[in-house]
Chains A and B, each alone.
Chain A
Amino acid sequence: MSGGGAGRHIGRILIRAIVTILMVAVLNFILFRVIPGDPAALLLGGARTSVTAEQMEAQRQNWGLDRPLFPDQMVDYLTATLQGDFGYSFKFRGRHVAELILERLPATVVLVGLAQFVAILCGVMLGLYAGWRRGGAIDHIVTGASLALYSTPSFWLGMLLVVTFSTALGWLPGYGAYSPGATIGSLDSLLDHLRHLALPVTAVALGLIGQYVVVARAAMSDVVTEDYMVTARAKGLTNGQMLVRHAFRNAMLPVVTLITLNLGYVVAGAITVEAVFAWPGIGGLTVEALNARDYPVLQGIFLLLGASIVVANLIADLAYGLLDPRVRQ
């Protein structure tokens, strides 16, 4: 309970987060240096252009490539990264990686945020209910379906959704974020955007629902067998009172952790789904970068994914402390 203990706990969590981010950055640095070819030549446009030796040498000095890899170049790289300078894209020549990423980020945040919302609403409730009524008919159906969802790549669900609702039935668009020619900002375009969101959000959400149901059900069925639930029953509480006052909060501990962790993981998980729907977000950018071997962009994305995962982990650790008094010490 002492402030010092809690402070030390938070301190330890923070240090771990910083170390992880640093390791991501170092891995980025190493990977970039491993790629064959002289970075100076790459910077000058690769093998496609002819450059003189003097130009190359000047370029090397200019970028600090004549200095030793470790520690000088690595420190430079880390400093630049910390300042938000992720370098320039190969494919979109002359554009900052950070700029490209920031441009694509909102589309991903909207997709992933909506999917999380839907998945939390459906998945957690279904899972808690299945665990509370463990062994019942609904439990069997819900658990079977969620295990299947859990084992299915969500991008494939996306493809099935496109074939069914877009190609065969023609109900919803299966491509892009807006219809061509839409004037962005009008009410019509908002509705159009929502219609474009429906299928990709469903695909991402279904994958999440599988996870949430599995974890919420397991958590609830663990809680149901706890001694304090027997105490609650002995106190003469009704089933509803037992569920709301004693089971819910305890069962939510692992679920909240998973949801928070997923805030970080879901961006990576949505990459393949975005690829299916040509969604103009981080996933789309990743596919373009992979196809064009645009390593700086790929590194930037890696750093973004790493950072979001680490931040989500950090929040999860802190949130757990708030919810569970046993951890606060």
Chain B
Amino acid sequence: MTNSSQDKAPLLDVNCLSVDYGLKGVSLRAIDRVSFALQAGEAVGLVGESGSGKTTTAMAIAGLLSPNARVSSGEVRYRGSRLPIDDDAAMRPHRWCETSVVFQGAMNALNPVHRIIKQIAEPCMLKLGMSRGEATARARELLGLVGIPTDRGSAYPHELSGGMRQRVMIAMALACRPSIVIGDEPTTALDVITQAQILKLLGELRSRLSLALILITHDLSVVAECCDRVMIMYAGRIVEDGTVAEIFAQPKHPYTRLLIESIPNPASGKKMIRPIPGDPPNLVNRPSGCAFHPRCPSAMGVCGTEVPSLDQFGRGRVACHLHRSSRGDKVAVHA
């Protein structure tokens, strides 16, 4: 009874997943022993800086690893069966039908030479075997769902605003009724108001269609708005995992704390944005021990030598030596 989710099998189960990139003969670990589970209908935020491995994690789940990536350990299970994530062809039936992606900067993610209605209808025809007419009707329906007037379907991507293009991306992602939608920085290029609209839309659609949502972002405030749970990643590892409420109220990991403090808060007024000191982690020369220790305000001797494991802590998980007083006796802490 360590986990409340034990009674029902998770929709997605990522188990000890490591992915390496080959770089001129050198192998580079992008994500390292990442484990987590995702329940149907759950919304999880995956937060971290550039190079934290959040995108690689998401691409692995979607079966979109690049050819120079190699799964060196672990597995991804979807509805109980193992996904062949390192086999491009074998992943094809899974893509879009089960897991779809809303990419960032929808300008380039949409093909510039095709009308948007055609791009939305395409997966319906190719994946669901609909006729052209059926697919177009479905695409119209989807446009309505994301709040785009159906007569705009004949527009080309460059004729739409950034927010509209992002809506098109969302409509496209829903085309084959997937169970999981991954949002890869879906609001990054947008202004604040549009950003809020898109997040609201995502939230509404999620509850209406009971989608599981994985939201990748470097912006914690985005997660706060539409996720149940958040996982913080640093240098390829999950360093903290917990509910949004808990993490904001009581961040355990020093990195999470600094991330939260770096959110500009107009309410408190006087507080300046505090950037996190130091450089983002270098994956080629990964720091020994906890990768965050060179930048950590609370680093201790052990942090430079020993890699902290991601242990259950309270109702969430954290990988930090500060919270390892209970080593070997997790159940006690939990109780």
Contacts and interface: CB of A to CB of B under 8 A. Distances in A.
Interface of A: 1, 226-228, 230-238, 241, 245-246, 249-250, 253, 323-326, 329
Contact of A235 (B113, B122, B156): B122
Provide the main secondary structure of the chain A interface.
helix
B35 to A, nearest CB: 24
B126 A1 contact: no
Contacts of B92: 236-238
Contacts of B62: 234
A271 B97 CA distance: 58
A104 to B, nearest CB: 41
A80 B249 CA distance: 87
Contacts of B156: 325-326
Given A241-B126, A249-B113, A326-B156, A234 B108 contact: no
Most chain A CB within 10 A, of B93, B94, B100, is at: B100
Contacts of B127: 235-236
B105 A234 contact: no
A51 to B, nearest CB: 67
B108 A226 contact: yes
Contact of B64 (A234, A323, A324, A325): A234
Top-3 shortest CB links A-B: A236-B95, A227-B108, A325-B156
Given A235-B123, A245-B122, A325 B158 contact: yes
B111 A230 contact: no
Contact of A250 (B100, B113, B123, B158): B113
B109 interface: yes
B64 A230 contact: yes
Contacts of B112: 228, 250, 324-326
Contact of A325 (B91, B113, B126, B172): B113
19 contacts: A227-B103, A227-B109, A228-B108, A230-B103, A233-B64, A233-B95, A234-B96, A234-B101, A235-B122, A235-B126, A235-B127, A236-B92, A236-B93, A236-B94, A245-B122, A325-B113, A325-B156, A326-B156, A329-B158
Contacts of B91: 236
B95 A235 contact: yes
Contacts of A246: 111
A323 B113 CA distance: 8
B227 interface: no
Contacts, number: 72
A288 B114 CA distance: 51
B323 to A, nearest CB: 37
Given A227-B105, A236-B96, A250 B111 contact: yes
B110 interface: yes
Interface string B296-328: 000000000000000000000000000000000
B154 to A, nearest CB: 11
B159 interface: yes
A231 B103 contact: yes
Interface in B109-133: 109-113, 122-123, 126-127
Nearest to B93: A236
A324 B126 CA distance: 24
Nearest to A223: B111
Given A234-B95, A235-B127, A325-B156, A228 B110 contact: yes
Interface string B156-172: 10110000000000001
Contacts of A228: 108-112
Contacts of A233: 64, 95
Contacts of B158: 325-326, 329
A156 B265 CA distance: 72
A68 B96 CA distance: 76
B86 to A, nearest CB: 15
A131 to B, nearest CB: 15
Contacts of A1: 159
Contact of B96 (A226, A230, A235, A329): A235
A226 B51 CA distance: 20
Interface in B165-206: 172
A14 B62 CA distance: 49
A324 B95 contact: no
Nearest to B112: A326
A231 B109 contact: yes
Most chain B CB within 10 A, of A228, A230, A245, is at: A228
A43 B286 CA distance: 85
A228 B302 CA distance: 46
A232 B123 CA distance: 9
A329 B272 CA distance: 44
Nearest to B97: A236
Contacts of B64: 230, 233-234
Nearest to A325: B156
Given A235-B126, A326-B112, 12 more contacts: A227-B109, A228-B109, A233-B95, A234-B101, A234-B103, A235-B95, A237-B92, A237-B122, A245-B122, A323-B113, A326-B156, A326-B158
